[in-house]
Structure 1
C-alpha cells in the first residue's frame, strides 16, 4: 500500500496544454475541476499515470507530450519569487530543483551523476509503470530541458537523452532535444556539458521582483505535508482526502484507489489503530476548517467534501468537534479579535 503522490500544480501544465492543443478538458477524463483549483492538492501517482495513458487514447497521438512542450515549464509552479528559476546560474537552479521538487512529488528522485565532462541530470520514478512510464519520463525530460533553456537559450541542445518506458515517435522526440534519444532506460537522464552549469540567469528572471520569497505560514505548511510512500498513516490520510473530491469517501472507494479489497484496507487500518469512520470524519473536519478560514460558506464546503447538503455536513462536523460549524467559526472569530 505504499503510495506516491504528486501535486496538482505539478501536472496541471499537461492538462492546460492538452486543452489548448487538442480541446480535451478535465471533464473528458472525469476529473473534478476542484482538484486542480486547489493547486497544492495531492494526487496518488497511480491516478496521474492512468490519466497520462488515457490522454494518449483521447488525443490519438502517442507523442502528445511533445506537441504541448511549451506548456511543460517549471515556472508554472506556485513558488514564491519563482524560486527555481530565479537562481543566479544554471548550477543553482539545478540544485534547487533537485532539492525542492520533493515538495511536489514523493517517491521520485532528482539527482546528478558526473561522467568526465558530462553531467547527467537524472529522474527516477519507480511508481510510473508500463505506457505511463514513457509519458511521465518525457514530461519530466521536457520540463527540465525547458529549465535549462531559461539559462542556456532556446537553441540549446543536449548531448544525449535517455528515457524510460517504450519508445514514442523517435524522430519527433529527437527533434525537440537536438540529440540522440534512447528508450527503456532504468531512469530518465539528460546529458549536459559541465561547463554549461555556469550559464548565468537572464535579467528578466533574476530581478528584484523574482527574488521576493516570503510565504505565509499556511502556504509553508502546505509544502511540508508530502507523505513518504511507506508512511502508512499519512498515506491513508491523503488518500481519503483525495477520495472526497469525487464523493463522500467510503471504505470501498478508498480501497479501490489503493487497488486492494475492502477487507485488506480494513486490516491495514486496524493495524495502525484507526477505524475508517473515525479517520475519514477527522480528515473531512480538518479540511472543512481550512475552507472556513478561507471564507467559504457551509453549502460550498459540504459540496467540496462530498456531503449531500449543508445539513449533512453540519451533523457530521458536530459529531466530531462537539460543536456546530457556526459555533466553531464564532469561537475562531473571537480568538482572532483578541489583542496580542
Structure 2
C-alpha cells in the first residue's frame, strides 16, 4: 500500500515537472523585465512552490523552486530599489538578446544594403550623371570644387557645429523611424528605402573614388558613417521584423505575433537612438577635424568599427549561448 502511494506521488511529481518545466527554465534563463510580467511570473512560481512544499517537501523540485522564487523576489526588490538598473538591464541583456533573436533579419538587411551599395558604386562609375540625379548639381559641383582645391571633404567643414549636430541627429532619427513604421506594409517600403540608401552611399563613394580619394572616403566619412550606417541597417531590420511578424506568424495567432514583432521592433529602435545621437555628434563636430587631428578621426573610426562588430554581432551570440548553456544545465538538474 505504501509502495503504491509512493509510486503515485513520484508520478504526480513527474507530471508536475513536465507541465511547468519550460516556464521555469524560461523565467530563469530570460527573466521578465516589465513589472507586470515579473509580478505574474513571481506569483505563478510562488504557487508552484506552495504546491511542491505540500506534496514533495523534501524533493529537488521544491529546493529548485525555492531558489527560483528567491531569485525572482530579489530581482523585483532590486528593480523597485534602483530604477537605474532597468536601463542597465536593457543595454546589457534585453537589447542584445532581442538583436540576436533577429540576427537573420539583420543579415538580410545588411546584405540588401551592401548589394545596392555595390550597384550604386558601379552604375555611377559607368554614368557620371547618376551622382547629379541623386545629390543635385549644386552638391556635386561643390564637392568637385573642393577636390580641385585639395580639400575633398570640405563639405563637412561648413556650418555651425552644434546646429549641424542637432539637425543631422533629428533628421536621421526621423528617417530611421520611417524605416521602422514602413515595415507594417509587409516590409516593402522599408526594403525600398534601405536599398535607396545603400545605392546613395555607393554613389557617394564613387564620387570620391573617381578622383582618387577612395581610401580617404572610408577614413573620413566613416568617422560618423560607421555608426550612422549601422543604425540605418538596424532600423531597416526593425522594419522587417514588424512586417515579418504579420506576414509569417508561425504557430501563433497573427495578432499575437504582430504584437510581439512590434514590441521587439520598438526595443530595437529605442536602442539605436543613442547611436544616431553619437553619430550625428561625430559628423557635426569631429569629422571636420580630419585634416587637423587625423589621429583622432582614425581612432574614432576604428573604435566605432570594433564596437559595432562586438555589440551587434559577437556579444549577442555570446550572451545567447551563455543563457542556453545555463538553461540546459538546469534542465539536466531537473
TM tier, smaller: under 0.3
Provide TM-score, normalisation by structure 2.
0.23
Q: Normalising to structure 1: TM-score of the pair?
A: 0.23
* Larger Rg, first or second structure (1 or 2): 2
Which structure is higher in strand share?
A: 1
Q: Relative contact order: is structure 1 or structure 2 higher (C-alpha 8 Å, sep ≥ 6)?
A: 2
Structure showing the higher helix proportion among its residues: 2
